[in-house]
Amino acid sequence: MRRPLVSLALPAFALLALALPLATPALAEDAPVTIVIKDHRFEPAEVKVPANKRVTLLVDNQDVTSEEFESAELKVEKIVGGRKQMKVAIGPLKPGRYPFFGEFHEATAQGAVLAE
């Protein structure tokens, strides 16, 4: 009974050893695209991202007040506290322009993601 157990265990280790190096590049994330909020405006107001790819946005709120980063087009609605940062994943997006806004300061907090 011992022999079959050993022979089953070995292929599992062999597979794991093969899978780990292959998995590493997929786990490595690209650097996030940063959007700063300052004086209730987005800087930059337009950010370019690669199309057809999952992208992480880093929203860096430098105002003391909280903001809600919202976009129906990007399927995002997420609050970032005053002097806080948050990350949100978007896409993969087809090439195009995807507006977003800050719902708490909608008059000035307007922006767009350009996927190309």
The answer to whether 113 and 50 have CB atoms below 8 angstroms apart is no
Q: Closer CB to Cu ion, residue 67 or residue 70?
A: 70
- Residue 58, classified by CB atoms within 10 Å of its CB into exposed (0-12), middle (13-18) or buried (19+), is middle
43 binds Cu ion (CB under 5 A): no
Q: Longest Cα pair distance anywhere in the chain, in angstroms?
A: 74
70 contacts Cu ion (rule: CB under 5 A)? yes
Tell me the site size for Cu ion, rule CB under 5 A. Answer: 4
Measured from the CB atom, the residue of 51 and 110 that comes closer to Cu ion is 110
Query: Is 103 one of the binding residues for Cu ion (CB under 5 A)?
Result: yes
Q: Which amino acid makes up residue 34?
A: T
Question: x/- site string to Cu ion, residues 2 to 21, per CB under 5 A?
Answer: --------------------
Is the CB of 51 or the CB of 66 nearer to Cu ion? 66
Which residues fall within 8 angstroms of residue 86, CB to CB, at 6 or more apart?
A: 58, 59, 61, 69, 78, 79, 80
Is residue 34 within 8 A of residue 101, CB to CB? The reply is: no
Of the candidate spans 9-17, 27-35, 57-65, 101-109, the one that interacts with Cu ion by CB under 5 A turns out to be 101-109
Residues of the shown chain interacting with Cu ion in the complex, contacts defined by CB under 5 A: 68, 70, 77, 103
